[in-house]
Amino acid sequence: MIPRHLVIAMSVLLLAALGLSVYAWHMRKTVAATPVASTDTRLLAPPFAGPTERVTLYVAHDDDGSLRAESALIPLPSGRQQRAEELLRALLSLYLDKSSPHALGSGADIRSVFLVDPGVAVIDLNSAFADTHRSGVLVEDLTVTSLIHTISANTPGILKVKILVDGKERDTLAGHADLSDFYDVTAVNQLATQLQPGQ
């Protein structure tokens, strides 16, 4: 004969398990019905709204595989690191535009830029930037050179640049351009010269 209190306890536990199962099933249905927000593809406007400055952006053009200097008037903060970030965001907004001469995947963004003395800049891209980037030696070459040449030409004192993705090291941008090492700015500037139109 099973004691009465054990029967009651077992019944309560079974009821609780049944109730929780129904609740879990209900929650699962609710979650499935809720549309999941896809990757946020909204363009981020430059958050800084201070005085504008004329800067030179080095913009990649896929049609002739060139890097062209383009003048732009953008609001820039006074801090060196924040200026570097705004510069690259301005460049990125060109690439994310519908009429982009060098289209990047939706959701591509610059997470942050760190300037580390002496003369090292670290550009941290988000994973969408690298994951959606087109693969190819030239197309990746253009992106890397565009980023590094733009930041080094407008931020004096940068000698080396390291590119991270989501704060981590990555072998290549999209299968070709090497991201495992630091870029020497002088060498990249020479490459930028090679990539000028008509070269």
Partner 1 sequence: MRWTSDLRSVGVRPAFPRTSRPPVLTIGGLILICAILLSGAPAEKHLAVYSVAANYSVQLVQREGRPYVGLLELLEPLGKVSAKTENKSWRLRYNNVEGDFQVGKTHARVQGRDADLIGKFFVENNRGLVPLGSLASLLPRFLGGPVTLHEESGRLFIGSVATHFTASLSADNPPRLVFHFTAPVNPTIATELGALRMTFSREPLVAPASPTLTFGNKAIPSAIYSESNGAAVVTVNASIPVMATFSSDGRTVTISSNSPSAAAQTATQNAVPAAPGTPASPGQPAPAPSSSNAPPPAAPVSRRYFAVVDASHGGDDHGETLSNTLLEKDVTVALARSLRQELESRGIPTLVLRDSDANLSVDQRAIFANADHAAIYIAVHAASNGHGVRVYTALLPFGGDDRATFRSWTTAQHAALPLSKSIAAAVAAEFQRRQIPVRTLTAPLRPLNNVTGAAIAVEVAPQGSDSSQLTAPDYQQLVTSAVATAIAATRDQLGAAQ
Compare residues 91 and 103 and give the one whose CB is closer to partner 1: 103
Token duo for residue 38: 């896809």
Sheet holding 120-125, edge to edge: 110-116, 120-125, 160-165, 183-184
Shortest Å, Cβ 51 to partner 1 = 36
Residues of span 64-93 touching partner 1 by CB under 8 A: 65
According to CB under 8 A, which one of 16, 43, 116, 138 is a site residue for partner 1? 138
The rounded distance, in Å, linking the Cα atoms of 66 and 197 is 5
Asked if 105 is part of the footprint of partner 1 (rule: CB under 8 A), the reply reads no
Contacts of 82 (CB under 8 A, 6+ apart): 48, 76
The rounded distance, in Å, linking the Cα atoms of 184 and 177 is 14
Asked if 169 is part of the footprint of partner 1 (rule: CB under 8 A), the reply reads no
Shortest Å, Cβ 140 to partner 1 = 8
Q: Which residues bind partner 1 (CB under 8 A)?
A: 62, 65, 134-139, 141, 144, 172, 175-178, 180-184, 186-188, 190-191, 194-195
